[in-house]
Amino acid sequence: MAARTPRILAIGGASFGARSTDGPLHRFLLDLTGQARPRVCLIPTASGDNAGEIANFYATLAQHAEATHLELFGRTVEDVEGFLLDQDLVYVGGGNTANMLAIWRLHGVDKALRKAWEQGVVLAGSSAGANCWFEGSVTDSFGLDLAALRDGLGFLKGSFCPHYDSESLRRPRYEELVGAGTLPDGYASDDGVGLLFEDRELREAVASLPGQHAYRVERRRGNAVEESQIRARLLR
């Protein structure tokens, strides 16, 4: 059975495959399920069900979990809700956040994920796979310029910004959007850093490499913004 407490791990940026440095994060995720060999599902919608992403996912996790994936561009799963409720962990890959949310809503994945989360299936993801859980986020879904997306799933309150350390425009753009009130107060995360939420409350930040952290970003008077570092626990 999945854990009872609703939990989400929102990761600023991560990858699967032989060159990935995110092994500690992957092990942490599997441990969260409490299962010796958990059932783990990848949802690669944001990348257009990219075959390389799916292959890297299986290469990374199939030795340690019962791995599967949910394709929507070539959908074969009829009962999406039942399929996701049968998992211990659902991981959402990166890519185009806006397109992913639109496709999910057409196929009922948004409602199935909410039910899975409420019943204790661990939810996780990086980049677009982290943006989606919040009310809003910073995204490149609409073109080269970073923009606000304000119709996330809203499982978690506030907004999110991924790739805080690896993309130079992310930090100033996120602060601009929060300062203007376009996005609500929220969180930002470096690549390789995950924010673990339990019952919508932040429990801790964890990192796969030293020197990486997360941040709380809040609007103050006028358009002023206050950024507070959330120190991440280094995973071994």
Q: List own/partner pairs for 147-154 with CB under 8 A and 24 or more apart.
A: 148/177, 148/182, 148/183, 149/97, 149/98, 150/182, 150/183, 151/101, 152/97, 152/101, 153/101, 153/110, 153/113, 153/114
pLDDT of 1 strictly over 60: no
Instruction: Please name the amino acid found at residue 89.
Output: L
- Model pLDDT, residue 4: 78
For residue range 59-76, what is the model confidence (pLDDT) as tens digits? 999 999 999 999 999 999
Dist CA 72 CA 203 (whole Å): 32
Instruction: Tell me which fold the domain 7-234 belongs to.
Output: Rossmann fold (3.40.50)
Q: What is the model's pTM?
A: 0.96
Does residue 3 have a pLDDT over 60? no
Residues annotated as catalytic are 127, 163
Residues written for the chain: 236
pLDDT at 2 over 80: no
Q: Label the pairing between strands 214-219 and 7-11.
A: unpaired
Query: Quick check: 175 and 204 in contact, CB under 8 A?
Result: no
**pLDDT above 90: residue 144:** no
- 57, 42 in Cβ contact below 8 A? yes
Domain extent listing, the chain: 7-234
Phi and psi torsions of 90, nearest 5°:
-120, 125
What is the H or E stretch that residue 230 is in? strand 225-230
Q: What is the pLDDT of residue 223?
A: 85
pLDDT of residue 222: 83
Alpha-carbon distance of 57 to 89, in angstroms, equals 13
What is the mean predicted confidence (pLDDT) over 82-107?
Answer: 98
Output the average pLDDT for the chain: 96
User: Please, are residues 177 and 158 in contact by the beta-carbon 8 Å criterion?
Assistant: no
- Per-residue pLDDT reduced to its tens digit, 185-203: 999 999 999 999 999 999 9
The per-residue pLDDT for 122 is: 98
Reported as a single tens digit per residue, the pLDDT across 42-57 is 999 999 999 999 999 9
DSSP character at residue 41: E
Backbone angles phi, psi at 113, to 5 degrees: -65, -40
